[in-house]
C-alpha cells in the first residue's frame, strides 16, 4: 500500500454491513490518536494494554453516536487497575473528525508483572455512558467484569443491556517503519447482529458467566446460523490485517466476508482531543467556599489543576475561584 493510502486509513472508523448475514459492523484503525493517548503517560505495560484496548472499543462503539454527543466507557475494579476511563466526542459538524481521549488510575505497588493485564482489574464493573447534551438525561448502562478481556465485557454489555449479539476482534502494539521512530498502532473489527422483529431473549437465565446473557440466548434458527458464520469468518483474521497499514479496511472486509455481501459507508476520522479548559476548572471549583479554596492554595499563592487525560496544567489566583470569587475568572496560567 502506498503512503498516501496508509494515511487515508489511519485514525478512522469504517462502518459496514453484511447484507447476506444481517450483520453490521465497523473497522477501526488508530495510529496517531492511540500514540498520543499512551505517550502522554508512563504507564506500566499492563496498564498500557488496558488503555489501548479500551480506546479501540470506545472508537468502535462511539462511531454510532450522533453529532455533538459524547460516549464514555468506565472500567472500575478493586484490583491494582482501579479505573480505565475513555471519552468519544461525536463530530461537532458533518464531515469533521470525532475526538477520543483516555486515561488510567492504578496502584503501581499492587501490579503483578506475571499476571495478565485484564486480571489486574479484579472484581468490578464495565459501564457505558451516553451524554446527549444539555436538557437530556444521560444514559448509563452497567455490566459486571466478566470473561477474559475488556472486549468480553463489552460483548456481555451489549447482550445483557441491548440484547444485541456483538463481537470484537482487536489488536495493538508498537510499530516501527524503516527510518522512523516506533509508535503505537491499533486496529479491530466489531460485528453486531441487527435488531429484528421477534428477536429477543430465548432463556430466563443466561448461559454466560454468572448467568449473564450471550448470543446463544438471543438468536435462534437462521439468524443464529448467519451470526455463527460471520464469526467463523472473523476468526480467520490475522493480527497484521487488523492493525495495518499494509491491508486497507476495504480489502480486509472483502477478504473476510466477500460471500456475505459487504457494503461500506462513509468513514469517520478520529483524532485525539480533550475538552478541558480553564473555564471548566473554574466551573468545577464553583461549589467551594474561600475557606475550602485556601486549603487548596499552594505555597506560591496559586491553585493548580492538572488534566488527567491530556496533562494540561492550569494555575489560578485563589480569589477567582469558588462561589465567593471576588473578581471575574480568567486568571489562568
Indicate the pLDDT class of residue 210, thresholds 50, 70 and 90.
Answer: confident
| Cα–Cα distance measured from residue 309 to residue 46, given in angstroms and rounded to the nearest whole number | 18
Q: What pLDDT was estimated at residue 126?
A: 98
Closest CA to 34 of 244, 236, 234: 244
> Domains (ranges, CATH) in the chain?
3-272 (3.55.30.10), 278-320 (no CATH)
Question: What does pLDDT average to over the chain?
Answer: 89
| Cα–Cα distance measured from residue 64 to residue 104, given in angstroms and rounded to the nearest whole number | 24
Nine-digit cell string for 147: 470473561
Find the helix or strand (DSSP H, E) in which 225 lies: helix 221-234
Task: Indicate the pTM of the whole model.
Answer: 0.88
| Cα–Cα distance measured from residue 233 to residue 213, given in angstroms and rounded to the nearest whole number | 23
User: Which residue carries 466476508 as its cell?
Assistant: 257
Q: What pLDDT was estimated at residue 175?
A: 80
Residues 6+ apart with CB under 8 A from 230: 18, 21, 23, 167, 191, 257, 260
Q: What is the 3-state secondary structure (H, E, C) of 170-181?
A: EEEEEECCCCCC
Q: How far is CA 214 from CA 62, 153, 183, 199, in A?
A: 22, 11, 36, 13
Q: What pLDDT was estimated at residue 68?
A: 86
Q: What pLDDT was estimated at residue 268?
A: 94
Question: At CA 75, angle to CA 55 and CA 195, rounded to 5?
Answer: 75
Q: What pLDDT was estimated at residue 258?
A: 95
For residue 246, count other CB atoms closer than 10 A to its CB: 10
Q: Are 215 and 204 in contact (CB under 8 A)?
A: no
Find the helix or strand (DSSP H, E) in which 28 lies: strand 23-30
Give the tens place of pLDDT for each residue, 137-159: 889 999 999 999 999 999 999 99
- Report the residue count for the chain: 333
pLDDT at 202 over 70: no
Q: What share of the chain is helix, strand, coil (3-state, %, to 5)?
A: 30, 30, 40
Give the tens place of pLDDT for each residue, 2-60: 344 454 789 999 999 999 999 999 999 999 999 999 998 889 999 999 999 999 999 99
Amino acid at each position: 500500500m502506498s503512503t498516501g493510502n496508509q494515511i487515508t486509513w489511519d485514525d478512522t472508523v469504517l462502518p459496514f454491513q453484511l447484507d447476506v448475514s444481517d450483520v453490521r459492523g465497523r473497522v477501526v484503525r488508530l495510529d496517531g490518536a492511540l500514540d498520543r493517548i499512551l505517550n502522554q503517560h508512563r504507564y506500566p505495560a499492563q496498564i498500557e494494554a488496558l488503555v489501548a484496548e479500551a480506546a479501540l472499543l470506545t472508537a468502535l462503539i462511539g462511531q454510532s453516536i450522533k453529532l455533538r454527543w459524547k460516549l464514555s466507557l468506565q472500567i472500575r475494579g478493586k484490583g491494582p487497575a482501579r479505573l480505565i476511563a475513555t471519552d468519544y466526542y461525536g463530530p461537532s459538524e458533518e464531515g469533521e473528525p470525532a475526538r477520543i481521549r483516555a486515561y488510567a488510575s492504578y496502584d503501581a505497588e499492587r501490579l503483578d508483572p506475571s499476571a495478565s493485564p485484564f486480571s489486574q482489574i479484579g472484581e468490578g464493573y464495565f459501564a457505558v455512558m451516553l451524554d446527549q447534551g444539555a436538557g437530556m438525561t444521560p444514559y448509563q448502562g452497567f455490566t459486571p467484569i466478566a470473561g477474559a478481556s475488556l472486549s468480553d465485557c463489552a460483548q456481555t454489555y451489549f447482550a445483557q443491556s441491548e440484547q444485541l449479539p456483538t463481537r470484537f476482534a482487536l489488536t495493538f502494539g508498537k510499530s516501527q517503519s524503516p527510518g522512523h521512530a516506533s509508535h503505537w498502532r491499533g486496529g479491530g473489527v466489531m460485528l453486531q447482529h441487527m435488531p429484528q422483529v421477534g428477536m429477543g431473549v430465548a432463556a430466563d437465565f443466561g448461559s454466560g458467566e454468572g448467568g449473564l446473557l450471550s448470543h446463544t440466548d438471543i438468536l435462534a434458527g437462521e439468524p443464529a446460523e448467519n451470526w455463527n458464520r460471520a464469526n467463523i469468518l472473523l476468526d480467520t483474521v490475522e493480527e497484521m490485517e487488523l492493525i495495518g497499514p499494509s491491508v486497507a479496511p476495504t480489502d480486509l472486509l472483502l477478504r473476510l466476508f466477500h460471500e456475505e455481501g459487504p457494503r461500506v459507508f462513509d468513514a469517520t476520522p478520529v483524532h485525539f482531543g480533550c475538552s478541558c479548559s480553564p473555564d471548566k476548572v473554574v466551573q468545577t471549583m464553583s461549589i467551594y467556599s474561600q475557606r475550602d479554596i485556601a486549603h487548596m492554595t499552594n505555597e506560591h499563592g496559586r491553585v493548580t489543576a492538572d488534566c488527567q487525560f491530556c496533562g494540561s496544567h492550569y494555575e489560578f489566583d485563589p480569589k477567582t475561584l469558588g462561589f465567593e470569587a471576588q473578581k471575574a475568572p480568567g486568571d489562568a496560567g
